[in-house]
Amino acid sequence: MSRRFHEGRELPLGDGELPAGVHFGRVQGFQHGAEEQAVAVTGFGGFGGLKATGVLGINAHNTKCILDLNPRTQFPLVDGKRRMHDLCREIGVPTPDLYASLVSHSALRQLPRLLEGRTDFVVKPNRGVLVITGRQGSDFLRHNGQTMSAEAFRQHISGIISGLFSLGGTEDEALIQQRVISDPVLERISYQGTADIRVIVYRCKPIMGMLRLPTKASDGRANLHQGAIGAGVDMRTGITHHAVLKNRKAETHPDTGESVIGFEVPYWPQILDMSRKVSQVVRMGYIGVDIVLDRTRGPLLLEANARPGLAIQISNAQGLLPRLEQVDRSTPRLEHL
C-alpha cells in the first residue's frame, strides 16, 4: 500500500486534515537532487540538465505542493464532477451543459425520456469518457465510428452507478453532458477528438500551461500517455513554443502534418482568468485546470485536478521550480485564500 510522510511522520491514505502547523502559504525546502530522477529526462540534456532547468521532482511535488497546499477536506470539490460543475455555475465560469444526472439504478427507466431528441452527448464519470456522436436506429454511434446497442449503453451507465469506474469502487453518479465540438482552429493540429488546455495554478497564479492534442495513436483522446502531443504554451503570449510526442521532441502533428509550434491558443486571457477563479474557490494552493474550446461557446472548464502530473515540464522543456519560487518571492508567506 502506498505510504505518505510529513515531517518524518507517516500519514494514512485518506487523512481528512493536514498535519498541525501546516499552512496554506509558501512552499519551502524545494531542492534539486535524487528526487529529480523520477521525472523523465527527455529534452533536458540528462540529469545535469534537470538541475539547470529547475525541474520539480516527484517527492517535492507530492509533499511540498499537494500534501502541504491542498487540504484533503477540499478534494471532493475537484474529484466530484457534479460538484465542480455546480461550483463553476456559481462563480460564472463556463462549463459544458448538464443534460441529466442518474444516481440510482431505478433512474435507468427514465433514460429514453432523458435522451429524447438528443443525438450527441458525453457520459461521465468514466475512464476516458463515453462520447456519443449520433444515432443509428436504436443504437448509439461512438466518436470512433463504432456502434453501441441500447442495452450495452444502459449497462455502461449501470456500471458507473455501481462504482465500476469510481476511484474507490463506491457507488457513483452518471452524468450526461453536452458534447464539446472543438473550435475549427484546432482541427488542423488534432486528430478526431477534442484538444484541451492544462494550466497549473500555484497559489492562485497560473504558472505553466500546455496544449494537449489528440492523435490517431491516442484514439482521438487528449491523453499524453496514450500518444497525444503535449505542446508547451508561453504564459504571456499563449503561443506554443515546444512540443513532445511520447516524450520525444515534436514539431509537426503525425497525422495532419501541420506544425504544432507557433500556434496561438485562442481566448488565452480568458483561459488564465478561468483558472484563477477556480483555484480561488476550491481553496487549494496547487491544482491543474483543464479547459476545452467549443466552436460556439468558446472556453469551457472540463475539470480541476488536485494531483496534476509533472509531464507539463517535458512539454515546455522547462522546470516548475523557478516559477514556484518566483511566486513565493512575490507573495507573503502566510497569505491565505
Please tell me the distance from the alpha carbon of residue 29 to that of residue 295, in angstroms, as a whole number: 44
Whole-number pLDDT of residue 53: 72
Whole-number pLDDT of residue 293: 97
Whole-number pLDDT of residue 120: 94
Tell me how far apart the terminal alpha carbons of the chain are, to the nearest angstrom.
33
Whole-number pLDDT of residue 247: 85
CATH of 75-94+182-330, one of 3.30.470.20, 3.40.50.300, 3.20.20.70, 1.10.3720.10: 3.30.470.20
Q: Are the C-beta atoms of residues 198 and 269 closer than 8 Å to each other?
A: no
Whole-number pLDDT of residue 49: 57
Nearest residue to 320 via CA among 64, 70, 72: 64
Nearest residue to 208 via CA among 60, 319, 305, 70: 319
Grid look-up 476511484 returns 167
Please tell me the distance from the alpha carbon of residue 27 to that of residue 24, in angstroms, as a whole number: 9
Whole-number pLDDT of residue 44: 53
Q: Are the C-beta atoms of residues 212 and 195 closer than 8 Å to each other?
A: yes
Please tell me the distance from the alpha carbon of residue 318 to that of residue 210, in angstroms, as a whole number: 12
Whole-number pLDDT of residue 77: 87
Please tell me the distance from the alpha carbon of residue 83 to that of residue 265, in angstroms, as a whole number: 28
Query: Over the chain (337 residues), what is each successive 10-residue block's mean pLDDT?
Result: 39 32 38 38 52 84 93 89 92 95 92 92 81 93 90 94 79 91 94 94 97 94 94 98 94 96 98 96 96 97 94 95 94 58
